[in-house]
Amino acid sequence: MTDLAAPAPPIRLGVNVDHVATLRQARGTHYPDVVAAARLAMHAGAQSITVHLREDRRHIQDADVETLCGIADLPVNLEMALTEEMIGIACARRPRDCCLVPESREELTTEGGLDIAGQKTRVADGLTRLGAAGIRAALFIDPDAEQIRAAAEAGAHHIELHTGAYADAVDVASRRAELARLIEGAELAESLGMEVHAGHGLHVDNVGDIAAIPAIVELNIGHALIARAVFIGLDDAVLEMRAAMDAGRQRIV
Ligand code: PXP
């Protein structure tokens, strides 16, 4: 896959393939193939592949992580809870990146950012252990100044801002307010020396405003992109998302 080494565009796209595995797990079949999806997404223009190994293994399985991390030059971003089990798996499989997320079994998806301020020492220890294994570790947090400062103090090299509240906003005013929080949060994180990523609930119609935030350099997108792929194919869904991101990015003067 020669295109894995292609120069990165101004804003990178990480494609989350969890829901390819959701479809597979629904029937206990060996298809659709998560690895084939990852290769197709990379070929269509993604810069990395994200998978979330959840505690209940509802979609991605340990074997998927092992296989994906074993593919030379495939930039894998492993989302996981900050637990001994997950730190052990990450250190054994060595994805390029990890993103520490909060996790509760009952939730449908990751519902809020990680509380760094309330457990700074534990987070710092997790970041140190992942860093020692050569993994770049990020923290998935809400665009909240206290959490962003705590992430920097815990030693995070980069953070991923949770865009769920923005994506779920029910009216124009609250959507604008959530966008403003993301802009302020991204600027604060950048000023503290951290690289800023964002994700959750993004789709072609709402991604432009997020891609237009200069401090944000990577978006991780899954559910809407995989859902769109059901109708137009994964490669076209990646191209369509890329185009929407690029259109937003061009608004930066
Ligand atoms: N980033 C993180 C940290 C996530 O937990 C998720 C959901 O797994 C995403 C991005 C992607 O969210 P979505 O599937 O809504 O695009």
- At 119-141, the pLDDT tens digits run 999 999 999 999 999 999 999 99
Which residues in 105-131 are b (16+ Cβ under 10 Å) and which e? eeeeebebbbbbbeeeeebbebbebbe
Q: For position 253, what pLDDT does the model report?
A: 63
Where does ligand 1 bind, in terms of residues with CB under 6 Å? 16, 18, 52, 79, 99, 101, 109-110, 140, 160, 199-202, 220-224
> Which DSSP state fits 155?
T
Q: Are 18 and 222 in contact (CB under 8 A)?
A: yes
What tokens were used for 12?
């990178």
Q: How far, CA to CA in Å, does 62 sit from each of 78, 86, 97? A: 11, 10, 16
Choose the residue to mutate in 223, 225, 245 for probing ligand 1, maximizing ligand atoms within 8 Å of C-beta: 223
pLDDT less than 70: residues of the chain: 1-9, 104-110, 253
What per-residue confidence (pLDDT) applies to 2? 43
The number of the ligand 1 atom at minimal distance from the alpha carbon of 19 is 14
What would you report as the CA-atom Rg of the chain, rounded to the nearest whole angstrom?
Answer: 17
**CA 125 – ligand 1 centroid, Å:** 24
Counting ligand 1 atoms within 8 A of each CB, the residue from 22, 110, 206 with the most, and so the one to mutate, is: 110
Nearest residue to 52 (alpha-carbon basis) of 104, 8, 110: 110
Just list the catalytic residues. 52, 79, 200
Give the C-alpha separation, 151 to 175, whole Å.
25
Angstrom distance (rounded) from CA 230 to CA 242 = 17
- Report CA(110)–ligand 1 centroid distance (Å): 7
In this predicted structure, what is the pLDDT of residue 1? 43
Q: What pLDDT is recorded for position 6?
A: 57
**DSSP strands (E only) in the chain:** 12-16, 48-52, 76-80, 97-100, 136-141, 158-162, 195-199, 216-221
- Give the strand pairing for 216-221 and 158-162: unpaired
Rounded CA separation 124/152 (Å): 10
Q: How many CB atoms lie within 10 A of CB 18?
A: 21
Contact 13, 46 (CB under 8 A): yes
d(CA 77, CA 144): 23
Interval between CA 227 and ligand 1 midpoint (Å): 14
Q: Taking Cα atoms as reference points, which of 70, 73, 76, 92 lies closest to residue 18?
A: 76
DSSP 8-state assignment for residue 192 = T
